[in-house]
Amino acid sequence: MPEEITTLLTFFGGTGDLAKRKLYPSTYNLFKKGFLQEHFAIVGASRQEMSNDEFRQMVLASLDGFIDDQANAEEFISHFYYIKQDITDKASYAEMLDLDNELDAKYGLKGNRIFYMSVAPRFFGTIAKYLKSEGLITENGEYNRLMIEKPFGSSYKTAEELQKELTEAFDDDQIYRIDHYLGKEMVQNIAPLRFGNPLIDAAWNKDYIENVQVTLSEVLGVEERAGYYDTAGALRDMIQNHTMQIIGWLAMEKPTDFSDKAVRAAKNTAFNALKIYSNDEVAENFVRGQYGESADGSQRKYLDEPDVPAGSQNNTFVAGKLQFDTPRWEGVPFYIRSGKRLAAKATRVDIVFKKSANIFGQGGEKLVNPVLSILIDPVGRVELTVNAKNVTDTFQTRPIELDWQVSEADKAVTPEPYERMIHDCMDGNGSNFADWNGVAVAWKFVDAIQDAWDKTPATFPNYVSGSMGPKESDELLAKDGNEWVFKG
Ligand code: NAD
């Protein structure tokens, strides 16, 4: 049995979609694995009227497919308590405090508290304020932590306001900003692949790397989400958060150890050296797109999707070049792209290494840039393309691929990102959460791009649904003599 975690976990938005689909099954897995045993209680808070019993039945139903022992599931849900609350009503927090104190005594929770805000972002600041003012943050606990869902602001200004509201109640190191990409198995594999192998670690710099590519491509269109998506676009929906957080693991310096403090410091050295573009530089280094119909006309263009405003200038595709002004990365472009209605669903990193000088004469004409590809979704896979000998009568090289793929057995035991994130927060490990400095830099970077785009209307649509985006995306790399490794 692992060491038991003692905690009182409160889910604001306890009847919501995320809680039912992800948070309860994840917490149940922690119980099944023995991280949660006896000294824990879970409070769900929401607007609906509901008894503890009804709430427990709702939680039980959400565990469908995860239960292999009914008695064990019944034991788990007996630790759940419900409180009807209007988040904006200060008085409701007094009632919550009474419940928390009662549960603390009943289960011996040592004042340890985690507050998970699984609600609309407009409530984040209010919850933090009342948790503090109404005394729910304990003085005697080993810890009080706040888990916060995305999005963290919609610009640098709004993010900074939110950060200010949160830090009036919690210290920055008590705040766990969720980016579920950081909970993905293969994103967490970047650090050991890089720092666990001196031959890779030693080559992780401008002397050996030609360029770095990060692709987050989706096949689906906007579906029913236009209300939100039309105000965010690919830039805010995918680049500011997930893409930048993956970039953090790639561009970071080598941390002194693997503690969250050291990891964050190493990432921030890179983030703080990210070049923020002027309007002219945005035009040179960034490309936007909006999808049109598919070639066979079976898929409609973005502008014809439900709830998309007429003439929308929203970006459904972004490609760009990032530059880090550090000795490690001088002159090395980091290319990123993300979009909807692309040719393939993929989240992947391609590290393009420099090409060898050809000592083989004609036999070396097929030498290629070695590439290390880390495939994150939909399959977990590592591919290393290197040069080797071809089987021919006269000497000739050819590229070969060395690869490894996450096995079905590994997949079966891989924790869901939400399970990992809740577990990490319980352990007080912030390595796989977005820290404020990284979030702030990402917003400043993205705001500069949005600002330039707001000033110059684009001609949309400019890419065919089912392609890999507008031709300008390929041209962006071609200008530097490079090309996308992943072609869809
Ligand atoms: P949801 O609309 O399904 O649930 C919202 C919850 O908030 C409900 O329990 C509701 O009762 C409660 N609530 C609303 N107003 C309230 C009030 N005034 N007082 C008390 N409770 C109130 O939302 P969701 O999909 O579960 O999303 C929650 C958060 O998670 C959002 O920030 C969202 O951006 C984020 N998120 C959701 C998903 C997902 O897959 N659903 C994925 C990533 C992030």
pLDDT tens across 242-253, in order?
A: 999 999 999 999
| Averaged pLDDT of the chain | 97
Largest CA distance in the chain: 84
Let me know: does 337 contact 215? Beta carbons within 8 Å. Answer: yes
For residue 358, pLDDT over 90 is answered with yes
pLDDT (average), residues 210-237: 97
SS3 199: helix
Q: Residue whose CA is closest, atom 15 of ligand 1?
A: 47
Ligand 1, atom nearest to 14 Cα: 9
In angstroms, the CA 107 to CA 41 distance is 7
- pLDDT per residue over 449-469, tens digit each? 999 999 999 999 999 999 999
Pocket test for ligand 1, best of 10, 54, 118, 131 (most atoms within 8 A of CB): 118
Q: Could you tell me the distance, in angstroms and rounded to a whole number, from the CA of residue 283 to the centre of ligand 1?
A: 37
pLDDT, residue 122, reads 96
- pLDDT per residue over 313-355, tens digit each? 999 999 999 999 999 999 999 999 999 999 999 999 999 999 9
Q: Could you tell me the distance, in angstroms and rounded to a whole number, from the CA of residue 481 to the centre of ligand 1?
A: 46
In angstroms, the CA 323 to CA 334 distance is 6
All domains in the chain, ordered by first residue:
7-149 (3.40.50.720), 182-478 (3.30.360.10)
Measure the CA angle with vertex 302, ends 300 and 306; round to 5°: 85
In angstroms, the CA 20 to CA 30 distance is 15
SS3 417: helix
Q: Residue whose CA is closest, atom 4 of ligand 1?
A: 16
Strands 317-322 and 286-289, sheet pairing: antiparallel
Measure the CA angle with vertex 5, ends 75 and 125; round to 5°: 100
In angstroms, the CA 112 to CA 131 distance is 14
Q: Residue whose CA is closest, atom 30 of ligand 1?
A: 118
Q: Where are the alpha helices (DSSP H) in 175-237?
A: 185-188, 190-195, 198-201, 226-234
Binding-site residue set: 13-20, 47, 86-87, 150, 180, 184, 218, 237, 340, 345
Q: What 8-state DSSP symbol labels residue 20?
A: I
Where does the pLDDT of residue 181 fall: very low under 50, low under 70, confident under 90, or very high at 90 and above? very high
- pLDDT per residue over 134-171, tens digit each? 999 999 899 999 999 989 999 999 999 999 999 999 99
In angstroms, the CA 186 to CA 243 distance is 14
Ligand 1, atom nearest to 180 Cα: 43
Measure the CA angle with vertex 368, ends 337 and 336; round to 5°: 10
pLDDT (average), residues 179-186: 96
Strands 80-84 and 40-46, sheet pairing: parallel
Residue 254 in tokens: 């080598």
Q: Could you tell me the distance, in angstroms and rounded to a whole number, from the CA of residue 158 to the centre of ligand 1?
A: 20
Ligand 1, atom nearest to 87 Cα: 19
Q: Could you tell me the distance, in angstroms and rounded to a whole number, from the CA of residue 96 to the centre of ligand 1?
A: 19
Ligand 1, atom nearest to 15 Cα: 9
- pLDDT per residue over 258-316, tens digit each? 999 999 999 999 999 999 999 999 999 999 999 999 999 999 999 999 999 999 999 99
Around 418, how many Cα atoms within 13 Å sit in the side-chain half-sphere?
A: 17
Let me know: does 98 contact 106? Beta carbons within 8 Å. Answer: no
SS3 324: strand
CB within 8 A of 268, min separation 6: which ones?
A: 435, 437, 438
Binding-site residue set for NADP(+): 13-20, 47, 86-87, 150
| Phi, psi of 461, rounded to the nearest 5 degrees | -70, 155
Q: Could you tell me the distance, in angstroms and rounded to a whole number, from the CA of residue 16 to the centre of ligand 1?
A: 5
Q: What 8-state DSSP symbol labels residue 26?
A: H
In angstroms, the CA 351 to CA 200 distance is 11
Binding-site residue set for substrate: 180, 184, 218, 237, 340, 345
Only one residue has tokens 């035009």, namely 283
| Helix or strand holding residue 237 (H, E) | none
Which residue type does 114 have? I
Pocket test for ligand 1, best of 10, 11, 15, 18 (most atoms within 8 A of CB): 18
Residue 33 in tokens: 């694995």
In angstroms, the CA 77 to CA 479 distance is 59
In angstroms, the CA 371 to CA 384 distance is 6
SS3 136: coil
pLDDT, residue 265, reads 97
DSSP string of 40-98, one letter each residue = EEEEEEESS---HHHHHHHHHHHTTTT-S-HHHHHHHHTTEEEEE--TT-THHHHHHHH
Angle between helix 124-133 and 156-167 (nearest 10): 20
In angstroms, the CA 17 to CA 58 distance is 12
- pLDDT per residue over 422-434, tens digit each? 999 999 999 999 9
Which residue type does 258 have? F
pLDDT, residue 1, reads 87
- pLDDT per residue over 66-107, tens digit each? 999 999 999 999 999 999 999 999 999 999 999 999 999 999
Residues with Cβ within 6 A of ligand 1?
A: 13-19, 46-48, 85-88, 118-121, 149-150
**Catalytic (active site) residue 242:** yes
Q: Residue whose CA is closest, atom 16 of ligand 1?
A: 47
Percent of the chain at pLDDT exceeding 90: 99
In angstroms, the CA 402 to CA 371 distance is 10
**In Å, how far from its chain's centre is CA 426?**
19
Which residue type does 282 have? V
| Phi, psi of 7, rounded to the nearest 5 degrees | -160, 155
pLDDT, residue 288, reads 98
